[in-house]
Amino acid sequence: GGDNTFSLAASGVTVAFGGFKALTDVTLTVTPGAIHGLIGPNGAGKTTLVNVLTGFQEPTTGRILLGGRDVGAHPAHLLRREGVARTFQAGRLFTGLDVLDNLAVTGVGLGHSRHASEVEAMRVLSWMGVADLAEKPAAGLPYTDERRVGIARALMFAPSFLLLDEPAAGMSEAEADDLAALIARVAGELGTGVLLIEHNVGLVLSVSSHVYVLDAGQVIEEGDRSAITASQRVRDAYFGA
């Protein structure tokens, strides 16, 4: 269309697993420097949508657009280099390495020297306020620290877009508040476009400028906080019709 912003978008995306459609005609846009929320009941298709936006799953039909270019066939490792990073629900850290090395491996994978990668890893941890984690073994990290390291690792790609898959799961309210502040800094200071997938609807509504609601594979509502909280369709999806 006439949108000249460098954005990440799904356009009319359907994902079918055999005869079952996990997503049906989903259209969504993530713009730079803003936080977008993605909520919906269990099984709604949230993770499938993250997978298809990050190259872990090809759309059956429809397009994934990065700056207007169709990247639907690009595998995850390529999309990461093109600026689309994600975190995972489970940490997926290298448990035999300390935190700094977990991040440095990413830099080396991007073609940087080991030294430059370690410097960058330290810079990212410091920016996040968790430099004290650098020398800790990744195995046995407290859950919330593991989540933070997952975000730090994604930031090693200096992503234009960051997709966070349930980053607050298992966190206390205070920890979730800290996380919300970090996500706001990622969007505000780094200019990254964020898509936040969360069970914690309150967290999503409090930090997102635009929220999408998925139910049974379809976007049933989108808009700002007041539009979502006022929506009868959203209430029906969560509490049953």
Task: Please report whether residue 129 would count as binding ligand ADP according to CB under 6 A.
Answer: no
Q: Residue 209 or residue 218: which is nearer to ligand ADP going by CB?
A: 218
Minimum CB separation of residue 226 from ligand ADP in Å reads: 24
Q: How many CB atoms lie within 10 A of CB 140?
A: 9
Yes or no: say if 179 and 190 are a contact pair by the CB < 8 Å rule. Answer: no
Which residues inside 5-44 make contact with ligand ADP, applying CB under 6 A?
A: 17, 20, 22, 40, 42-44
Which of these, 94, 95, 77, lies nearest to 86 by C-alpha position? 77
Task: Please report whether residue 47 would count as binding ligand ADP according to CB under 6 A.
Answer: yes
Task: Please report whether residue 48 would count as binding ligand ADP according to CB under 6 A.
Answer: yes
Q: What CA–CA distances, in Å, run from 193 to 148, 149, 196, 209, 237?
A: 18, 19, 10, 11, 27
Number of residues that bind ligand ADP (CB under 6 A): 11
Task: Please report whether residue 238 would count as binding ligand ADP according to CB under 6 A.
Answer: no
Minimum CB separation of residue 239 from ligand ADP in Å reads: 17
Q: Residue 75 or residue 129: which is nearer to ligand ADP going by CB?
A: 75
Q: Residue 17 or residue 238: which is nearer to ligand ADP going by CB?
A: 17
Parallel/antiparallel/unpaired status of strands 210-215 and 218-223: antiparallel
Return the exposure string of 157-175: e unless at least 16 CB atoms fall within 10 Å of the residue's CB, then b. bebbbbbbbbbbeebeeeb
Q: Is the dihedral of CA 218, 224, 229, 231 positive or negative?
A: negative
Minimum CB separation of residue 166 from ligand ADP in Å reads: 8
Task: Please report whether residue 45 would count as binding ligand ADP according to CB under 6 A.
Answer: yes
Q: Residue 53 or residue 156: which is nearer to ligand ADP going by CB?
A: 53
